Structure 1
Amino acid sequence: MNDAFNNTYIAARQTKTTASDSALCTGLRNAITPSAASIASVAKM
């Protein structure tokens, strides 16, 4: 997953367009959300 995220980040930085920034934000949310859910489920134990 990190390689895919890094590739998305690099592509976004290279093109520097609004669409790329939007894609980068979406990538960040997708990367963070599972971790937050995992932390929440662990906290409930």
Structure 2
Amino acid sequence: MEPHKCAGPSWYLPDQLPSTTVPYSALGIAHCLKGEPFSVHGWQEP
């Protein structure tokens, strides 16, 4: 419903994501591929 926000659905290999992938999504996929189910990316220590 918002074609200006999405080029369209496509399939990519998880280690070959397009450069337009949202950075935090790409990072989450990278952690998953390494078997790391948890990340604190973007959180600062108090």
Q: Tell me the TM-score range normalised by the shorter chain.
A: 0.3 to 0.5
Q: Tell me which protein shows more helix as a share of its residues.
A: 1
What TM-score comes out, normalization by structure 1 length? 0.41
What TM-score comes out, normalization by structure 2 length? 0.40
- The one of the two structures with greater contact order (alpha-carbon pairs below 8 A, sep at least 6) is 1
